[in-house]
Structure 1
Amino acid sequence: MQAPEKAHGRIVAADFVPHPWLRGPHAQTVYPSLFRRLPPLELRRERLELPDGDFVDLGWSGSGGDRIAVLVHGLTGGFESKYLRGLARQLLARNWRTVILQLRGGGPEPNRHPRCYHHGDTGDLRYLWRVLRDREPAVRLATVGWSLGANVLLKALGEEGDAAPVAAAAAACAPFRLLPCAEKLRTGTARLYQAHLLRGLKALVARKHAVVPVPPQVDLARALRAADFIEFDDAYTAPMNGFRDARDYYARCESGRFVGAIRRPTLIVNARDDPFMTPAVLPTEAALSPYVTLEIARRGGHVGFVAAGPHGRPVYWLEQRLAQYLEEAVPR
């Protein structure tokens, strides 16, 4: 693939205009989660066995064609994530096949090994890329990730560099710097989002360790009492995955460290008013690979981007934008 002529990435303004009734960051974030109907999507389930004896579940849609988009959900997401299903429908209409990667431990059935997915766990995504390439050598792969899934995707692309077996990628609401995001979620109204996500995360690990033994280095009781992500990650995520503590985990896994090493065309879409982070976490152009475009909207919240269609009907602009980008980056 020919390298871009510029020495670094670029940052551009998104053309997103919020719905006039949903202008604020919290309205943009909450409305799709609470009021959007689950987009219908027929899934063919596949259990993918992993080299270490564990598994992940895949959800396939579409048939035919030589383009496959791998979709990677955010924290506590999965096959039922509305944003993910919405993009799948957009891509199916453009003659793509899509496959949802339900990250290790993310489904209703606990995975076999003690560890679950986290912000830096890129091995399963990278393995899936190789599996798909081996099954269909002529297939053209793209990948999209949201929030935690965006972090996983961008980190994986940076780790792979020139060897990445994908034609293009897109990420939404990427948490480029994890510690500032965790600190933001400890403050103000953002604590409500943290509480909601922590409940789901604690339920996931409690369900898992009802059948899978807890490693001795992990303090599960402390994790289940945790008042915030930093405390949870200190007690559970960091020791489970070989990090010294939460801050070591954040520093080694944040995608901001890896976006300069990406060697595939990649679009990242973030909102400046995202309540899960502050604008200070957004990278500079100099930090971005020349293959990367960061598109920043003034508004949009976290995985929101709800615009107004005819008669005020909500339109999910982000899904349209990501589908449009992939169609241009990986044409028929």
Structure 2
Amino acid sequence: MITSMAATPHLTHSPLSNPPPLIKHAPPRLRLRLRPTRATPISTNATTTTDQFKDYHPSLEVLGGARDLFCPVIKTHLGRPYDHYPVLGANCHVETIYAAFFRNIPDVKLKRECLRTSDDGTVTLDWVSGDAKKLPDNSPILLLLPGLSGGSDDSYVRHMLVRARNKGWRVVVFNSRGCADSPVTTPQMYSGSFLGDLDEVVNHVVNRYPKANLYGAGWSMGANILVQYLGKEAGARRFSGAVSLCNPFDLVMSDEDLCKGFNKIYNRSLAKALSGILKKHLMLFEDIGGEYNIPLAANAQTLRDYDEGLTRVSFGFKSVDEYLQNSCSANYIKYAKNDPIAPDRAIPRADIKENPNCVLIVTPKGGHLGWVAGENAPQGCPWTDPMVMDFFQHLENEKAGTRQGTGNLLQSVEA
């Protein structure tokens, strides 16, 4: 699913004059979220048609206020049927598990930077090694936000990183506290509601490369955090565009679905990943007192156990439900249909239709962080990656004053 939005109806700060685009998609959903503000619809130009866009394949669902404006940019991808890879794509669980364990992981040498936050926490930024000297200071920057407990070693992150880097983009992965072996220096760890770390990362990156345009792409919980940031924080104006993939949108609904049937496997797996990070840093929580229940979090069988024992207490919520409700990115928008973690019913279709800067694209298959389809299947990049980068490159070309066609861009990537 791709959702593209330009204006979000529930901003808590003044409207941005030139808000950033965001593409958001969940395995079967890819979303393009463009301009997280109440700004007026994006103006058209000579290369973008405003005629009603109908050139998309019936296997896809395409809607949104900005459909006619931005879909022509990626019509090469939308005009083809979504053909899932035989057997693997026929079942959402098989596709999700295959992508997580068997998709190849591009070999890229990264250079790590530890960033100390204002509350003495620590996050890490992984840059492509050598790019600081190789790339011009005005090269566009793509900031990547992995999913819950994920990091720069995940295959879906590496594939997007390589594709962007091959286009001459500077790429940096934001690893949250404790993720991807990031050090933990305070009791506050991963949270779907805390935007402070992302804000400090954005300021750090922009201050380092003030001549470059900044773009963002997030997956799953990383997408949820990114969308909240774009719709809520003043720092959103720093972005020239963004993409959200596999966003659960409504964490209350996602939590409900994770407690059903086979989805319980994902629930336990995610809880185990988070509790594993916690166990590495238990000394920080010795004699912490208060409402913390560290044994519950360290031995969590579900995400709710972990959030009850640690997350909701660390960030001042009275209950897990209050924490989840306050972490829903759907609140700032006013994701494939078989995604087991990001449910189709959570997509705010009515709001996206009314939003003049939003586009939603839903694929019929894809699982969660899967999309094992297209010419790169089964072990290559997700079906969504070429489309996402063509969209980003279009935005960058417009800001740079160029008018290159997406066909030429795609050829250069494949070369």
1:46-96 deviation line (CA, Å, top 9, x unaligned): 111222222211100144142000001111211211100110000011110
Q: Is the 8 A contact 1:176 1:256 kept in 2?
A: yes
Deviation, 1:203, is 0.7
Q: Bigger radius of gyration, 1 or 2?
A: 2
The aligned counterpart of 1:42 is: 109
1:223-262 deviation line (CA, Å, top 9, x unaligned): 23433222321222111111111100011111000124xx
C-alpha distance 310-281 of structure 1, shift in aligned 2 (>3 A): closer
Deviation, 1:153, is 0.3
Q: What pairs up with 1:157-168 in 2 under 5 angstroms? A: 157-160=230-233, 163-168=236-241
Q: Is the 8 A contact 1:271 1:300 kept in 2?
A: yes
Deviation, 1:42, is 1.4
Q: Is the 8 A contact 2:188 2:314 kept in 1?
A: yes
1:282-306 deviation line (CA, Å, top 9, x unaligned): 1124257433322211111101011
C-alpha distance 20-107 of structure 1, shift in aligned 2 (>3 A): closer
The aligned counterpart of 2:7 is: none
Indicate the larger mover: 105-114 or 34-43.
Answer: 105-114
Q: Is the 8 A contact 1:104 1:117 kept in 2?
A: yes
1:11-43 deviation line (CA, Å, top 9, x unaligned): 789653211232221122111211122211111
Query: 2:291 aligned with 1:217, yes or no?
Result: yes
Deviation, 1:164, is 2.2
The aligned counterpart of 1:297 is: 363
Distance, in Å, in 2 between the alignment partners of 1:226 and 1:122 is: 24
Segments of 5+ residues of structure 2 without an aligned counterpart are 1-17, 19-38, 44-63, 72-76, 401-415
Q: Is the 8 A contact 1:76 1:197 kept in 2?
A: yes
The aligned counterpart of 2:40 is: 3
Distance, in Å, in 2 between the alignment partners of 1:207 and 1:184 is: 29
Query: 2:100 aligned with 1:33, yes or no?
Result: yes
Q: CA RMSD in A?
A: 2.4
- Partner SS for 1:100: strand
Q: Is the 8 A contact 2:95 2:371 kept in 1?
A: yes
The aligned counterpart of 1:78 is: 151
Q: Which amino acid in the other structure matches residue 318 of structure 2?
A: R
Residues paired across the two proteins, number: 322
Give the alignment partner of residue 321 of structure 2, picking from 230, 244, 247. 247
Distance, in Å, in 2 between the alignment partners of 1:107 and 1:312 is: 25
The aligned counterpart of 2:383 is: 317
- Relative to the length of structure 2, the TM-score reads 0.72
Q: Is the 8 A contact 1:10 1:285 kept in 2?
A: no
Distance, in Å, in 1 between the alignment partners of 2:295 and 2:154 is: 29
C-alpha distance 10-298 of structure 1, shift in aligned 2 (>3 A): farther
Give the alignment partner of residue 21 of structure 1, picking from 82, 87, 97. 87
Q: Which amino acid in the other structure matches residue 88 of structure 2?
A: L
Identity %: 26
Segments of 5+ residues of structure 1 without an aligned counterpart are 261-269
Query: 2:337 aligned with 1:272, yes or no?
Result: yes
Q: Is the 8 A contact 1:299 1:305 kept in 2?
A: yes
Give the alignment partner of residue 194 of structure 1, picking from 267, 285, 289. 267
C-alpha distance 167-25 of structure 1, shift in aligned 2 (>3 A): same
C-alpha distance 122-290 of structure 1, shift in aligned 2 (>3 A): farther
